[in-house]
Structure 1
Amino acid sequence: MEHELSHVREIEAAAEGRPPGRDRVVVESWLRCLNQHRLDPTARSEAFILPETALREHRQRSEALIAIARSGIESLYGLVAGQNYVLLLADRAGVTVEYLGDEAQKQELRRSGLYMGAEWSEARAGTCALGACIETGEPLVIHQSDHFDATHTGLSCTAAPIYDTLGRLSAVLDISLLSSPRAKASQSLALKLVTAAARRIEMANLMAENRREWVLRLSASPDFLDVDPEAALSLDGTGRVLGLTHGAARILAQAAGQDWRAAGGLIGRPVSDFLNVRVDRLDDLMRQRPAAERFIETRDGHRLFAHAIEPRRAPARTVPAPVSLPPPLRGLAGDDPTMAALLRAAAALAPQRLPILIEGETGTGKLTLARAIHAAGRGGPFTVVRCAEIGEEEALLFGRQTGRRQEEGLIAAAHRGTLVLDKIEDLPPRTQARLLRLVAEGSYLPVGGLRPVPVDVRILSTALPGGAEGLRPDLLHRLGGAWLRLPPLRARQDRLWLAERLLGSGDRPLSLAPEALAVLASHLWPGNLRELEHMAQTLRALVPGAEVGLADLPETIRAGTASGPGVPQAAGAVLAQVLRQTGGNVSEAARRLGVNRSTIHRQIRRMGVTR
């Protein structure tokens, strides 16, 4: 009893600003327990074990993490099991979702909370290793009377955080003792072991998530670089950071002069912001060279040794038998798989009467596709209604009837053909109501008319992405009998094929030099196909020779290049196009790109390019 009273007095002294001689992390946790969590140091709280149903939900949410971590935690437990340690893996909420302990101590472990389903959040259990680790994000030891609640002062707990690849704390790994007669310093080895195990779990998670991306592993020593690195990060084909381990987050944050706790701000940035490394020279950091020669420097001047792991090649896909497209649809795309699937769907829908809604950004070719579907289908008149031009002039669309005099509108003009409602998001609400009869019943009421007029018309509509969501739901459901979503040009793998096709047409065909291909491959094309067509017309008018070089491209194109997750890798697109130009001749492709043949073969394997 005297021991508990002394413990309470020590906590009260900390609250009054009188340092109790404890570690800073312990005192800060005590103050959070008092001021933030409103816990009473005189109250003894039994361990809280979640009901089975609630525990099942926590384990299901952590299923992927448990699968990745299982090998690491079993290895760690094998090292400490003979010393009466219990191993706990807790989720972000502090709930134990995996547990390894001595079955002979099962009842005592459950009473103390060192058991499956126990909640060790700071708000629930007071100062403890799991809860304090969640609050601080750092590895630590909470030993015996460091605990806030006197119920736990016999325990000695050591915990380390586990971060996901986006720099967010996702779990905590803890090894605890029911009792430890030794001083707190006796747990320093346990702290090193649990921290190393958490690091290896993060490494395994990063490798599992990035099998198709570059991974750069880092170490301060060349001797352990290839077997037990200290940090790792994943990169996309343009050198932007996709994910990282906690060790890498600390290295990059320090190089950039930032706080490692804001690791999310490191994602998506070029790796060259932090490390003196070039993406096109990652091959130099692979295992072909001795580890001692694979060193790089951080932007703040620290030397590290690096091991680059190239992306695994995706397994060969079974290529479906080519589907014969109607002639109007054949020339709308090259070898882009998204467009190929869309055109197959368009070909199947073309002979039907089903209304089709075509969605896509400005300039992606919505009206061009509508015209091709019409030509591949029933034929007849092709009538386009610019919805923004209707406004209050509904007679433009429905016609007008005054007495016996009748003026036909665009609907009547489309009889036995196709009516295209261009940008249906611009339709006024009143016009939407009048259109509903046409789509639902096949008839319409002229302005001023009393009797509906039957009409035989197939309706196609176009809309910007998300634009159709503002329509009346009953009208939208009828206009969208089928949806075709055109991808933006920046996401199409055939954009270089389209560029060369446009430039190669006409009486003076032009070809593209490799450096021009590279710029066009990485350009974002905000104007999509329309921007590409305008560029082709400009180049045909201005370029005097037969080949378009980098300097010939418009300044808006040269200045508007960028890369990101939504843009296919430019290097692979350029290589594929040059191989197409050379008929698959590797030697000629190497000559045009200014590299040797082995580089071309290596890039073909790495990027999965078809010769």
Structure 2
Amino acid sequence: MISTSNQRQHVETILHSLTNPSAEGEAAIIERSWRRCIDRYGLDPARPTPPRYVPGATLREHQDQADALIQVGRAGVEQLYRQVVPLGYVVLLTDARGIAVQFLGAKHDQREHQRTGLYLGADWSESRAGTCAVGTCIHERTAFTCHHSDHFSAHHIRLTCTAAPVFDPHGQLLAVLDISAYHSPESKHSQTFALQLVKYTAKMIENAYFLQRYNDHHVVCLDRSREFVQINRRYLIAIEEDGTVVAANTAGRKLLRHHDLPLPGPGETRLFKAWNIQDLLDAEIEDVLTIQRYCDDRVRAFRTHRHREIHFATLIEPQRRTMHAASESRARDTSLAPLEALADDDPAMRDTLTRAARLRNEPINILVIGETGTGKERMARALHESSRRRDKPFVAINCAAMPESLIESELFGYEPGSFTGARSKGMKGLIAQADGGTLFLDEIGDMPLQLQTRLLRVLAEQEVLPIGASRPLKVDLRVVAATHRDLRGLISEGRFREDLFYRLNGASLRLPPLRERADKGYLIRRIFEELQQERDERTRLRGDAMSALLAYPWPGNIRELHNALRYALATCDGNEVIVNDLPEECISGHLAHPGAHRGEIDPALNAPNRVVDLPGNRDPLHQALRRHHWNISAVARELGLSRPTIYRRMKRLGIVPPQQRDTL
């Protein structure tokens, strides 16, 4: 707490500066803000005011309106946090009205965050908090540091806060990015690097938002350096096919104004539309639109009309064109849709899918390799559904789950009376049922060694001999096998036949783990949509939940993601999923993720309450435990989680196994 003498000195400093204004630069910004606090907002520096938090419902409204920015800016905010957290900073992203819609900070300091106002839902507008980095940045529309006694309210003078504005493509203030710390050196110069870091990150977020907003347009990227234009993308100008300027980032708007092209003012909503890229660059529109095709390094030099300055340009083509460029030649082949749906723009998956498309009708067996839960069966089904065998059966066999005593009869079938307990009419085996179609052998590495010999004969001779039969049956098979195990290692240990391996591995397709995929966002949205259709309901996945899902490492891969989304849909309130609806594992990292609270304000802490689990929320886990007779390992496999995670969730939900309940 600030001492009475320090508070009195702070008040005297403010009153003296207002009667004797002499400051320049950043100090003048502070003095102007102090005057507004007294003259316009009626604030009193002698009466420190505690932080104000908006109610939970109001916070959700602000987050909803900032949802697109929260999603686009997630990576930049988290990268900034990783850089500054060792120095004791927290990170806030506020909307244009100063409400903190995203917050990252160490969990062990949560009460201090809440007490000081450095927390989700805090109102940092200048009219409420007085002179502060966020509120004054909103008013002045410039980046600056509010250090210690720069703050108007004595409640905040221990803080050092640095903020930078984020503008939308038409110059409207979109958000403010802020880093703040409780402890810092007395000198304001100690925050010089912090200011540059926040400005740089704000620019990255602004540009990412710009590119996302105009991903269906051509975007001309300009820089004074040929070597850095592909990386810096300093000036971004979105254009139509005829060169009409649609929008520009902050640097781009300054460049256009520098060359006497008038632009809409910050408060105007009209589009550019009156100007063409040819008004800026001494070039024909065809020269600009063909940069990627006719320049080896995809960079071209242009002079500006007015100042004859050389700028180097590269071009980002519309997403509708680039996303499907690799598949345009086969776009008319609708049979490829099942394969195309498996990935978006992940390079490893696109290479795998391109190979899969070439192999889909080839008479060779395929081995799909990947960690548990990466979608190997879905790949096998997509291969089948995109091939000429699509109208024939797809038969899936899990070699690890089938009891060893039954696997032979299930695979090969049997004649009537072949053994005790056999059906009177015999049974057609799974291999024979796949005749003409695709046989999918999941977890092939777990198949018993003696059955590998019989399977090898089936693959070599394309015929199957049921138990008790004297004649084999001809089968037309395409086999897709899958494994997460090292088959070559099993071969060296004598646990897998080498000749069977080469029969199965006519070609291999490797699936990357989810943590390495660049298209996690696409997968989350696709699976979420599928689950909604399955439940016949419309639910929204809010940006804070998406941020947490993107940040989580997914040890259980796509299977774990599927289960996490199913859990969230089952436990969410209303028609939106927020971060607190996700399983504990997805939000239990060291970051305090945005939107983790749904309650109203707790007067004691002046911050949102965390919602506790409702008794009904344990039903999915409880049902799985009963279904598997309280076998924790089996439940963990089904849910795609680890055994310790299952135990932690049972403890949290108060679930006790029957055998332990009797001893309590």
- TM-score, length of structure 2 as denominator length: 0.45
From the CA coordinates, give the structure whose radius of gyration is larger.
Answer: 1
Higher relative contact order (CA 8 A, sep 6+): 2
